Amino acid sequence: MTTPNSRFVHRTHARFPVHFSLMYLGQSVIGQGIVREVSGAGCQLLGTAPVSAGTTLSVRLAFPNCQKPLVIKHATVKWVKGLEFGLAFEDLDEQARMPLQAMLHEMLAKRRYSGLAKPQPTSLSV
């Protein structure tokens, strides 16, 4: 009998490959980065300043075709590999949630329309 590996968690949000910029700010860090994947729950990025898992950051995402950046006041660093790390968006307020959901909905529609709707992995190593 095998037991579930506790290093893996079930994904509840679709992930989308992207390429746009962001800025992040923490108690002792300021950096910029390129977002590589985004979902309704968080993002994966390559940054310019090192962070540690567990750190809370404020993030400004520069979505394409948006007039002003999306501000996420609380994002927790979940994992780090060099300057690459994953963020979990925490307690999104309405001003952040609505534009994020609209962008993700548009990306999902484009994926389905282009025939690229492929299953995503359902677990993540943490």
Q: What is the pLDDT of residue 121?
A: 47
Which burial class, exposed, middle or buried, applies to 117 when counting CB atoms under 10 A from its CB (0-12, 13-18, 19+)?
exposed
CATH class of 9-118: mainly beta
Q: List Cα–Cα distances, 119 to 46, 56, 57, in angstroms.
A: 24, 31, 30
Distance CA 78, CA 89 (A): 10
Distance CA 30, CA 50 (A): 9
Q: What is the pLDDT of residue 126?
A: 39
Q: What is the pLDDT of residue 116?
A: 52
In terms of DSSP H, where are the helices of the chain? 94-113
Q: What is the pLDDT of residue 95?
A: 87
Provide φ and ψ at 109, rounded to 5°: -65, -40
Burial 86-106 (b: 16+ CB within 10 A, else e): bbebeebeeebeebbeebbee
- Pick from 54, 51, 56, 60: which is nearest to 23 by CA? 60
pLDDT tens sequence for the chain (126 residues): 444 544 545 556 788 899 999 999 999 999 999 999 999 999 999 999 999 999 999 999 998 777 889 999 999 999 999 999 999 999 898 888 888 888 888 888 877 766 554 554 444 443
Does the global pTM surpass 0.85? no
Which burial class, exposed, middle or buried, applies to 81 when counting CB atoms under 10 A from its CB (0-12, 13-18, 19+)?
exposed
